[in-house]
Structure 1
């Protein structure tokens, strides 16, 4: 057995948090992963993973070995990337995550174009509205929206992002145009997963008539005249320009935020990550409404 086989098995198990997930990521059987782990533990003389019928836990030795193995595999991948890039091609696998609706609208099409340009490259796209842990979930690149929390991740701004409170002309004709925060008490307000909107002076907490965890459905509800909604520019700008929606309370609009690319510092020199980030930025420049 190659010493790298054991490394890859251990790294995959730690990052996928299961033998079956590791087997799927490596393209081998669960039995094969289990044999590699057992052989590695025997060679090292230390238990790396505690396995039971219900859970899998990494031992202190396993965590220590994982950190060194991850660094070695990253170094190997970067060496291969460097040679491939010198030869004019990108290769390897990238795991990318993005928010569901934004990922479907903008990230997935950009990735498809990128894969067409680089036939030797492989990409796993994970669409989730949860902020996945890049290290724990083995993510190479995350596309995040809004304001970032401080972290050790490398952040690159891909595009600006602006929020609008708006409603259909039919709703405003029926319910009136709000002139202040106090007026929201008399209005039907549509909210997403958060219990507030973002405002220039801080959170705005209207009483929600309808809450949904889908930006697309909130947009449809607003277009259908059900009430006021706050959504990002890529949902509403074309409708504001066409007159299907009207912005209200513009003076309360929060400062612009951004669409961000986030990746671990260990991948800062990886050509496939840098080239994908550049491609995403160009794609968003071309396709986001302005």
Structure 2
């Protein structure tokens, strides 16, 4: 009959590392947890407040102690192995215990860092206020926001949450809808007074249309938004939605803008509202291990709650 000690040391012997096996260290287990959630050594190192070599050294020691590989490299970043999942369960237990101890001493149980990548329009309108509210409630939680308008990445390493336009097709990830919105046409009153109000979509052929640079668009849904529109005269194009808003407000032409930004801008008025609207949606994408991270779960909940309240009419509140 195998003893418990024999069962523990048998897989370690297969590693042939030359180091004396020992019980896995808590810091190594928590390091594994950070890498599994973020998919990158460098991102985990920043969250843990150590350097890349320390992460590598801790994981090498953990693999020697456990007797096998904890992680494998894929196109989506580092992924956890079956053996790694056993260690991950222990790491989550340690994390939960530390959180409970912090709560017992009166310390905020939500700590660490959460990294979120999102389009800049969504970031300014929804993400920033949502994270300000969350961070005010949990001052020991650090938040990093990365502005990016792009298709969902199969490699989500380095971020905890990615907000994307359109329903994503993802693997090894959890996706949840955040909100719906529409792209519509807007112009400044001064521009319309100067050029006249277009009577149809076909009449837009006489107006500069302000939108993204076609060759730089990475999101198919945003590309399809202007396909029903006729070719327009030379106009101002930009990779920044804020540039679209400012150019439209300055009278450079008719802008294709998110309604949640333009409807509340007193400098703009809608154009052909009954003739054109391109519905879109925002989705939040989290790596498989992400939802079990309390900070990530709290961030996603805060985003969805803020968006829901922002979309409620005064009569509903």
Change (3 A) 1:136 1:156: closer
Indicate yes or no: 2:137 matched with 1:109: no
Whole-angstrom distance in 1 between the partners of 2:67 and 2:103: 39
Indicate yes or no: 2:170 matched with 1:147: no
Matches within 5 A, 1:159-198: 159-193=179-213, 194=217, 196=223, 198=225
Structure 1 position 133, deviation (Å): 4.4
Indicate yes or no: 2:47 matched with 1:25: yes
Larger radius of gyration: 2
Which of 208, 215, 219 matches 2:245? 219
Matches within 5 A, 1:1-290: 2-10=24-32, 12=34, 19-44=41-66, 63-70=81-88, 72-74=90-92, 77=95, 90-93=109-112, 94-131=114-151, 133=153, 136-137=156-157, 139-144=159-164, 146-151=165-170, 153-157=174-178, 159-193=179-213, 194=217, 196=223, 198=225, 203-204=228-229, 206-207=231-232, 209-239=235-265, 242=266, 244-254=267-277, 256-263=279-286, 272-273=295-296, 275-285=298-308
Structure 1 position 82, deviation (Å): 7.7
Q: Aligned with 2:235: secondary structure? A: strand
Do the aligned partners of 1:162 and 1:257 also contact (CA within 8 Å) in 2?
A: yes
Change (3 A) 1:70 1:45: closer
Change (3 A) 1:171 1:24: same
Whole-angstrom distance in 1 between the partners of 2:291 and 2:60: 33
Change (3 A) 1:135 1:85: farther
TM-score (norm 1): 0.72
Change (3 A) 1:77 1:113: same
CA RMSD of aligned residues (A): 4.2
Whole-angstrom distance in 2 between the partners of 1:59 and 1:106: 30
Structure 2: runs of 5+ lacking an equivalent: 1-21
Do the aligned partners of 1:90 and 1:272 also contact (CA within 8 Å) in 2?
A: no
Whole-angstrom distance in 2 between the partners of 1:141 and 1:213: 22
Change (3 A) 1:70 1:209: farther
TM-score (norm 2): 0.67
Number of equivalenced pairs:
278
Change (3 A) 1:67 1:183: farther
> Residues 111-131 of structure 1, C-alpha deviation per residue, up to 9 Å, x if partnerless?
122122123434333332235
> Residues 138-180 of structure 1, C-alpha deviation per residue, up to 9 Å, x if partnerless?
5443344x431344524143x4423221112222233332233
Whole-angstrom distance in 2 between the partners of 1:14 and 1:265: 9
Structure 1: runs of 5+ lacking an equivalent: none
Change (3 A) 1:43 1:212: same
